[in-house]
Structure 1
Amino acid sequence: MKHRIHRANLATLLLTASILAPAPLIVAQSQSTVAPTKIVYHKNKYSPEDDVKLGRQAAAQAERQLPLLRDREVNDYLETLGQRLVAAIPEEFQHPEFRYYFRAVEDRQINAFALPGGPMYVNTGTILAARSEGELAGVMAHELSHVALRHGTAQATKAQKYSILALMAGVTGAVVGGPGLGQLAESPFGLYLLKYSREYETEADLLGARIMSRAGYDPRDLANMFRIIEAQGGGGGGFLSDHPSPKDRYARINQEAQSLKVTNPITDNTEFHRIQEGLRGYRYSTSNQRGGNRYPSQGGNYPSTAPGGRVESPSSQYRSYSEFGVVRLSVPTNWQEQRDQSSVWFGPAAGSGSMNGNSVYTHGVSVGTYQARNRSLQQATDEFIRTNQSGRTKRGVDQLDEPQ
């Protein structure tokens, strides 16, 4: 029998879609390099069609806030590269229902994220930082793996009623009018399933390496991208900040590469470098125009750092938090807590500040309640969204029936 949650107090979790869920299980192989590491799915009560539905709704909301790059040539290039990687996904992780597409975002941060069902967004900063098409393909293959492994709805299954209420809440940002992608991908913490992040990031690395080799790219290019990000001061947002450490990921990917054979190697970087040169000519123009409207006191620019300066990496130790009778969280011990009448925010000291009298959050997780007049979850959700049209955040909340 299908089950719906009806509550007067609706909790809204602020989290990002960059990396959403606990990963499938890694089945250990012998030390032989004959076969790559085997990955199997975790239990998932939801259908691939549910992934598509969530991803489509989240993408529509995200694209209203992201500074998308309106350049057909760049987007066509990403689409061609992305579809080449999609075609290389191993058969056991192919989902005919998914609709993969790829968009560029004007943002100097090195980052990318993908939503359930297929939408992917790649920062121009990622394209410019890569030294070859293979390194760019590595970032995209990693994010593609999160989609193929269905991390989002795997987490919903594990989290049960909490994720049904707010699986995609806050997918479009936790910062006032900010450029979007960096903030979307820099807050992977907050759900009580945080402890799985090391596992699912490792699996995305491993499957990403496998996809690369099948598409004609050297899997070690993905490992090299971690070093590039690290060398640039760790400005890789969620892509770099997630567990395990860049050093461990570099070593693990190179180890996995020994078991992978690159078929029909792609060595021509002519088109890649041409796209790079084009981006250097006018990058961030649209973002700066939007920034002028939103941050006049910043000279028309988005804040280049978090409100309080460089953001401290999350602690590997966690403390539990439970409130509202609805949600439980595990947050890093070095994250601070800030409260108001109806919500609580956890995050690093440098991840919050104020601008023009408004609170600004760039990193962390926010949990709150809303007193709804409707007992219907869908009607209450619609009511909540309407009342927050002028608020400091935009949230996309989705409703799913609990599978039998």
Structure 2
Amino acid sequence: MSPIRVGLIGLPSALGENYEGTSWSVNAHLPFLTKSPNFEIVALLNSSVESAQTAIQKYGLPNETKAYGDPQDLANDPDVDLVVCSVRVDRHFLTVRPSLIAGKAVYVEWPLDRNLEVAQEMATLATKHNARTIVGIQGAFSPIIRKMRSVIESGEIGRVLASTITGSFGNNVDAESKNVRYFLDRDVGGNPITIHVGHSLEYIAAVLGEFKTLRSFSSISRPTIDIKDYSVGDTGKVVEAGARNTVPDQILAYGTVEPSDAAVTVKFHAGKEFPGQPRLDWRIQGEKGWLRLASPLVSLNVGGPGIKLEIARNETNTVEEILPEADEWDELPVPAQNIARLYEAYRKNEWHPTFDWALKRHEALDRIWKEFDAESH
């Protein structure tokens, strides 16, 4: 079978002092797409043709890779089967809209765009034009998440009674990196609420089930934050003092999930964790025992070394570490592993998150935003 031909949107041609972003396309998509015999990058869309040409050379893509600077030109390319968008959140719909109208398959990183309304418009457009869709909300494909789900489904800890997730964003509490300054701007749509809380809602659903009820309280504890350039050293250099922050950095969400009716609490806060404690601590209480995941990283959807999963059994008063199953994608760089599993699910026509699926998470986040607005006015 011929490989799936990919048109990639967003591959940074330069990572200099003015670069904004996390290089997600480089770190998470390229390692898989350039290795897999089942996918091949045939086109690249950047902000200009020149930028795309530079990136093609920079990352060693084939010389015949087409360079585009206009989303419509990519949409018009008959040689592109799948469009993959990995740009700043508020540019998602702008760059994939023509491809959706053309009926192409489209992969968009999470979140779909800056708010629920735009996400709904994207999902409606995809349905209208019979476009297959994928969303980069990959937590359910993580081996550690799959292992947690299998333990719950096996009944090893009995009926689930409650669950608590506590996490720190892992940034410096007194400053934000200039590379992600947009994390402070609610209108952009890429921020700790949409990214960290949004992904956590997905892996809660994967392990415990969908929220039946959901309430929240959020606040901004740092209304102004210095922006620093950390490329000059660990302490960074202030490049903008007192930047305005419009995104809550203390978030509490709570409710019950189906089918267990278990109470679930999610708490994220700005800054780093208490010394010696995990950055993310997820505990699930059952009638027969506990399941605990401790991670040095906040993003379980990405994963990484040092994540530890343990089960405590009431009957024997013992604690045992549980290891996830290995697969061929463990050999890829960490950010690319779950992305690879997501791509493979799409290729094999197995379940994967679509635009319509992602609306569930956008709707939950919309409730969190509305409750924040109600509390702050």
Structure-1-length-normalised TM-score: 0.28
Q: Which has the higher helix share?
A: 1
Higher relative contact order (CA 8 A, sep 6+): 1
Q: Which has the higher strand share?
A: 2
Structure-2-length-normalised TM-score: 0.29
